[in-house]
Amino acid sequence: MGCCQTTIPRDMSFYDVTFDRGFNTSQIWNFSPCSYAVLMEAETFNFSTAYISTAKFNDRNAGRVPVVLDWAIRNGEMSCEVAKRNEKAYASLSDNSECVVPPNGPGYLCNCSKGYEGNPYLLHGCHDIDECSRNPCPSVLTVGFLGHLIFSFFGSMILQRRKLNQVKREHFLQHGGTLLFEKMRSERGIAFIVCTEVELIQATNNYDKSRVIGKGGHGTVYKGIVKGNIPVAIKRTLLRIAHKAAEGLNFLHSCASPPIIHGDVKTANVLLGENYMAKVSDFGASILAPSDEEQYVTMGQDGPDMQRSLSSNFLSAMKENNLDAVLPSHIKGQESTGLIRGLAKLAKQCLDMCGSSNRPSMKEIADELERLRKLSLHPWADNRESKPSRWNINC
């Protein structure tokens, strides 16, 4: 007859196997003399053709096979809800136990509650799990170290935030914040609003071109909404400030007698006067330039690591012709291609490390910034490349 195999369906409450005595086995008697059936775990059964013609399967493990019994407590169709009402017949005797629905068929089962283990069918059979014996608990020293580490981390964050607020306050006062507040107090009829750079970017939708309401010699004017619903006009004057600062440094280098090297040029040392007129300040690191060829000056001022990293990233992007990788998001698409590339090319020449002879003078820088500023004031500048600079770099 051969061999056959079938699975037991779910929710089956009765199982029986019988052999028909009237079945004629004379034709298979010589190679399959025995007939047998077995109820066993499916995952442990591996079929072999030897099972058909021999008694190998029956002889294995002395005729025994593993079986998994899926059982439940049944009294008719009793569920958990019904079983809990009958306290005398309810099988869950232990505290910290609960009734669960069986995965196959009617009835109910009992399990220890979460965090407990044992036998829920015995009185006090469920006991608390000793988690430290399974997963070693951290020692007092480890807990103390972690607490100290967390405290140090948050303490460092608080100190850094205080330091940042102090730097912002000093920067605000250094750039005329006190004068602004004095003007606010003296002119009570005029309202002033102090906005951060982030608020200005949000107010102008990242300086979108649709917000432009005018252009002039002092910069581009944008329409914006701040503090919820207050319309304002926002003027961007960065390029003009850079040009005027370069003219100031050119005066120190070329017109002062003797010439003066500032030695600490940074945004914090460029103050804004009336009509956003740039003024170079803080000459504490300044020195006099050499008066003849026999004298020379060696200046080296290591800036913060962030500045050196920005310079390195910028030069790398220029070398790979990937300027967009280092441009701020509010610059991309808001200025003409010729203007941005012209400024980048000028910055690259200023950062040249092959020697001062390859870097432009402050007069040349001021002239180029003035040319680029004028370029930005014309509508046709958007799709026009800036003309090549007149300086050549040979290393």
Q: Give pLDDT tens digits for 229-252.
A: 888 888 777 788 888 888 888 888
Cα–Cα nearest to 267, from 280, 258, 257: 280
The residue that leads in pLDDT, 117 or 63, is: 117
Lowest mean per-residue pLDDT among 102-106, 284-288, 302-306, 343-347? 302-306
pLDDT at 348 over 80: yes
Gap between the Cα atoms of 345 and 333, Å rounded? 18
Residue with token string 């799709």: 383
Residues annotated in a binding site for ATP: 235
Residues annotated in a binding site: 235
Structure tokens at 335: 């200025």
Residue with token string 């029956």: 58
In eight-state DSSP terms, residue 82 is H
* Residue 174: CA count within 13 A, CB half-sphere: 15
**The domain 238-292+308-381: what is its CATH number?**
1.10.510.10
Q: How far is CA 276 from the centre of its chain?
A: 38
In eight-state DSSP terms, residue 270 is E
Q: Locate the DSSP E strands across the chain.
A: 97-100, 109-112, 116-118, 126-128, 212-216, 219-226, 230-236, 260-261, 270-272, 278-280, 287-288
Cα–Cα nearest to 117, from 130, 103, 136, 134: 130
Domain ranges in the chain are 1-69, 80-133, 155-236, 238-292+308-381
Fold of 80-133: Laminin (2.10.25)
Cβ–Cβ < 8 Å for 127, 97: no
pTM: 0.42
- The predicted structure's pLDDT at residue 86: 84
Cα–Cα nearest to 324, from 340, 336, 312: 340
pLDDT at 272 over 60: yes
Gap between the Cα atoms of 1 and 17, Å rounded? 16
The set of residues, in sequence order, having a beta carbon less than 8 Å from that of 334 and lying 6+ positions away, is 206, 207, 208, 209
pLDDT at 112 over 90: yes
Residue 196 to residues 201, 239, 303, Cα–Cα distance (Å): 9, 19, 26
H helix runs in 260-322, sequence order: 305-319
Q: Rounded mean pLDDT of the chain? A: 76
Say if domain 155-236 classifies as CATH 3.30.70.
no
Gap between the Cα atoms of 227 and 190, Å rounded? 17
